[in-house]
Amino acid sequence: MAKTHPYIPNSDESAIRQMLSEIGLQSIAELFEDIPAAIRSKADLPVPSKMTELETRRHVEGLLAKNLSTRDVLSFLGAGVWSHHVPAAIDAIITRGEFLTSYTPYQPEISQGMLQAMFEYQSLICELTGMDYANSSLYDWSTALGEAARMAARVTGRYEFLFPKFIHPERLATLRTFCDPVDIKLVEVTQDKRSGSVDVSDLKNKLSSRTAGFYLEYPSFLGFVEQAVDEIEAAVHQVGSLFVAGCEPISLGALKPPSDFNTDIVVGEGQPLGSHMNYGGPLLGIFACRGETLLRQMPGRIIGKTTTQDGKRDAYCMALQTREQHIRREKATSNICTNEALLALAASMYLSLLGPKGMSEVCSAILDRTRYAIDSLRKLPGVVAPAFDAFHFMEFTVNFDKTGKKVSEINDGLLKAGIQGGLDLSSYFPELGQAALYCFTEVHTHRDIDMLADKLRMILEA
């Protein structure tokens, strides 16, 4: 009885006895006798005893209650994971057992649902980015960037990869762990402290026949949007290296798609497309490229459209598996196996529900809030918003140097008033002074922003 378990149908004595006897055994212990005594565990696992479902729920919900979510406090954090409205239809569908409890569609005939959905995801990402091919997901933007740098090196046979100064620091850190071991050298390109623009002359100086690729975030980590993309792209392609863009996908509802800048590889974070923030994970790495040559070097799973063998019906299956680890092993384009399919499904639903008009709608809502927030915050004494003189989308840097207060103090004050302030940038980019990255999306109302401005004023005047 002690063992019988609601999730383990054969865990009662009678089932165990019967099954053992059918295969000529006396006890389960016999099945573990091949484990040498020296390493066979003597004691129970040092974890707690089982709890009932009710006890577990009460316990875990008790712990979770200690968290304050964006429904409890007003939050203006973005910086790589963003608060958006997730249409309710998405969660209703992705929790369906058929999707939720399936795996990589190794048997396509019985897995057409997910295969078609992933084919649609790839197609939707290509529509959004303008690229030719997309894979069916990587882990997150940062690992997608790591893969992109490696792919650029594979394709070009070159081993320098350039990035702009104001890159997301965690993405840069991840890029390092993907590049260092294979000796891809990372080179920083200056960005103008006033406008944020890439210093094109510095870029040109650093571009060479050793350059595998240059990476640009669009919009940038700090929310400003590079204007000289054409010029940058020309310089990059001039030396025969690849142009890699990192995109926040919502912005592409209103901003030129990377394909318009002859981008070779696009990476990005798909979380804003219908997935929750979940304290930072799971996330959805977007990866797309142009042209067949790059396609063959693309990491990750790709789904193709085909027909049944009798040619009568459309069907879907995995394609180009020879790039993947389960076939190509150490020569694979990546080691990825489990990916982020369920989040890709959510993204497909999001893009379908919104469509072209909805994407434009959410972009205009974001721009409306961005503009309103800039107008509100710049009026505060000593506050510079945005700190960069450029067009911003959704996020911008607020500088507090002239207020004589540190971001950490200000954020403490805000938190007491039920507001989570912007990300403190002072340790990431000390040259920006006491600056914070604020994010405004369609989830914020003008009243929310007024409330932020009011509280900030109180703190700054205190």
Partner 1 sequence: MVFAQARWDEPLIIQLSRVGKIGFHESHSYDRTVLDLIPSRLRRKQPPSLPEVSEIEVVRHYTRLSQQNFGVDLGIYPLGSCTMKYNPKICDAIAASHKIQELHPYQDERTAQGILQILYEASDFLTKIVGMDKITLQPAAGAHGEYTGVLLMRAYHLDRGEKSRDEVIVPDSAHGTNPASAAMAGYKVVEVPSNSEGCVDKEALKSAVGPRTVGLMITNPNTLGIFERDILEIAKIVHDAGGLLYYDGANLNAIMGKAKPGDMGFDIVHINLHKTFATPHGGGGPGAGPVGVTRRLADYLPVPIVEFDGSKYYLDYNRSKSIGKVRAFHGSAAVVLRAYVYMLLHGKEGLQTVSEVAVLNANYMAQKLRKIKGFSLPFGEGAPRKHEFVLSASLLAKETGVSALQVGKRLLDFGVHPPTIYFPMIVEEAMMTEPTETVSKQELDKMIQAFERISEEAYAKSDQPATSPHATTVTRIDEARANRPKTMQLTWRSTNPTS
Ligand X SMILES: Cc1ncc(COP(=O)(O)O)c(C=O)c1O
Q: Which of residues 349-388 bind its own copies (CB under 8 A)?
A: 353
Residue 5 CB coordination number (10 Å)? 11
Between 97 and 116, how does the x/- string for binding to its own copies read (CB under 8 A)?
Answer: x-------------------
Query: Coil, helix or strand for 314?
Result: strand
**Looking at beta carbons only, is 52 or 338 nearer to ligand X?**
338
Closest to 129 in 3D by CA, of 257, 292, 249, 4: 257
168 binds, among partner 1, ligand X, its own copies, none (CB under 5 to 8 A by kind): partner 1
Query: Coil, helix or strand for 28?
Result: helix
CB of 153 to partner 1, least distance (A): 11
**Looking at beta carbons only, is 127 or 199 nearer to partner 1?**
127
Q: What letter represents residue 459's amino acid?
A: I
CB of 389 to partner 1, least distance (A): 13
Q: What letter represents residue 310's amino acid?
A: D
Angle between helices 446-461 and 341-377 (to 10 degrees): 60
461 binds, among its own copies, partner 1, ligand X, none (CB under 5 to 8 A by kind): none
Task: Check residue 109 and report its DSSP letter.
Answer: G
Structure tokens at 11: 């865990």
**Looking at beta carbons only, is 209 or 364 nearer to partner 1?**
364
CB of 85 to its own copies, least distance (A): 4
Q: How far apart are CA 223 and CA 81, in angstroms?
A: 13
- Residue 89 binds ligand X (CB under 6 A): no
Q: Are 136 and 121 in contact (CB under 8 A)?
A: yes
Residue 431 CB coordination number (10 Å)? 10
Residue 371 CB coordination number (10 Å)? 12
Q: Are 148 and 265 in contact (CB under 8 A)?
A: yes
**Looking at beta carbons only, is 168 or 301 nearer to ligand X?**
301
Q: What letter represents residue 266's amino acid?
A: V
Q: Which of residues 337-396 bind ligand X (CB under 6 A)?
A: 337-338
Q: Which of residues 287-316 bind partner 1 (CB under 8 A)?
A: 292, 295, 301-313, 315-316
Q: Which residues contact 151 (CB under 8 A, 6 or more apart)?
A: 265, 289, 294, 297, 298, 299, 333
Between 42 and 71, how does the x/- string for binding to its own copies read (CB under 8 A)?
Answer: -----------xx--x---x---------x
Q: Which of residues 193-232 bind partner 1 (CB under 8 A)?
A: 225, 227, 229-230
CB of 288 to ligand X, least distance (A): 22
- Residue 107 binds ligand X (CB under 6 A): no
CB of 54 to its own copies, least distance (A): 4
- Residue 382 binds partner 1 (CB under 8 A): no
Q: Which of residues 60-79 bind partner 1 (CB under 8 A)?
A: 60-61, 63-71, 73, 75, 77, 79
Q: How far apart are CA 321 and CA 136, in angstroms?
A: 13
CB of 126 to its own copies, least distance (A): 25
Query: Coil, helix or strand for 425?
Result: coil
Closest to 193 in 3D by CA, of 435, 450, 461: 435
Site of interaction with ligand X (CB under 6 A) = 337-338
Rule CB under 8 A: which residues touch its own copies?
6, 53-54, 57, 61, 71, 85, 87-88, 92, 95-97, 353, 442-443
